[in-house]
Structure 1
């Protein structure tokens, strides 16, 4: 049913809305197709997709190779003026790992178009004036696309929202954001400016005593952040968890941030629950198993610039000795 839905949706998308490199529909089992729809922010009820407002919809799906690696990303779009902010449209961009799991790179109430320019090899995404509340170009950062309004109030630029996205520009201007911290420290004990800097780097915006993400549909508070030295180098990382209906059956997303000169940089941002393993990658960072509904979990390893998928293991009381999932 889902492959039929995807094929039918492809036929309805104007070619002009696609990225520059169209890709064939990837082979997917029904369970993977359901996970794709779920990760895009929709629920399937009675065999039919519903959006976050519970309205029956027919989201359009296109597959395009955004970074030229030969593997397609998914562009899912929907129109519902009764649910989404002006202009009444929504889109999500998702990428697929080697285990066949789809993860969301960006999602917002807007109409997306694709530029000819690239960032880190990825095609830039643009929301033109009138096509969303935050017009401008979305550039690729590790695991995601960053909106120019991600910092929230005041419309901060992408570089202000996550200074470490361009660490070369910040290097020398400021020290590490953890300089002067007395370790161990809790997130709640940090100054408000430090708290906001961490949350902004994770894509969240302060709203009173909490921080909002996913167009206001996810939430994190002071208890949602763990300050932990993952690689035992004396400089702690921040692990931010935000929860909400945006993240389907899993119910949450986590972001691992590391301190760099001038700000915080995303190491990993994915829907799921982080499970740290004893095995370690570059710079002593632990492998991370991504917990989610099901019995087979993906494992990512830090290679010095990003966490990359290295395999999958079955759910187990002792994840370090868990058996690899069978193909």
Structure 2
């Protein structure tokens, strides 16, 4: 039990560090739109989703289309098991609205390889040594391959 708590605490610290960018400045109006697009609601504790309070951990143009994108992270072992973290990717549309394009449990690492429309492949990290890499096909992110440290691997 102590080992599990220590492991989860370490993972949460690493996740926060991995997600953290230098001081994010997100305009209040956009913050509200981003969280609402991902299904979060404002409460006295912050923006809450179905798995806990979320925070915007990335706010930048991920696919080089000139529009901002955001990653919301939330933490819960009840929802996300041993990984303890989930994420929601929200993209600003040309008309200024925000749209949820992907959500998953795990720790997203944006890779240099790209799918359609310039969206980066996402290595979905967490416990283990072989991770799914998701690729955007123009409509949704789907598993494209499995990797560990940039090398192909198999779940078998």
Q: TM-score range by the shorter chain?
A: 0.7 to 0.9
Distance 1:276 1:218 in 2: 24
Question: Which structure shows the higher strand fraction?
Answer: 2
- Give the Å deviation of 1:289: 0.7
Distance 1:240 1:253 in 2: 8
Matched, 1:236 2:68: yes
The CA RMSD over aligned residues, in Å, is: 2.1
Correspondence 1:183-202 to 2 at 5 A: 188-191=25-28, 193-202=29-38
Query: Which residue of 2 is the match for residue 161 of structure 1?
Result: none
TM-score normalised per structure 2? 0.76
- Deviation track 1:111-164 (CA, whole Å, cap 9, x = no partner) reads xxxxxxxxxxxxxxxxxxxxxxxxxxxxxxxxxxxxxxxxxxxxxxxxxxxxxx
CA contact (8 A) 1:219 1:244 kept: no
- Give the Å deviation of 1:187: 5.1
Correspondence 1:69-218 to 2 at 5 A: 188-191=25-28, 193-208=29-44, 210-214=46-50, 217-218=51-52
Matched, 1:285 2:116: no
Distance 2:96 2:45 in 1: 25
Which of structures 1 and 2 has the bigger CA Rg? 1
- Give the Å deviation of 1:326: 5.7
Matched, 1:258 2:99: no
The runs of 5 or more residues in structure 1 that have no matched partner are: 1-185
Query: Which residue of 1 is the match for residue 154 of structure 2?
Result: 325
CA contact (8 A) 1:187 1:195 kept: no
Change (3 A) 1:262 1:228: closer
- Deviation track 1:209-263 (CA, whole Å, cap 9, x = no partner) reads 521111xx41123xx3311211122212111111123211111110111112352
Matched, 1:275 2:112: no
Question: Which structure shows the higher helix fraction?
Answer: 2
Distance 2:41 2:61 in 1: 24
Distance 2:37 2:24 in 1: 14
- Size of the aligned set, in residue pairs, is 133
Distance 1:326 1:190 in 2: 42
The list of structure 1 runs, each at least 4 consecutive aligned residues, that deviate by more than 3 angstroms after superposition, is 186-189
Distance 2:91 2:155 in 1: 33
Query: Which residue of 2 is the match for residue 219 of structure 1?
Result: 53
TM-score normalised per structure 1? 0.38
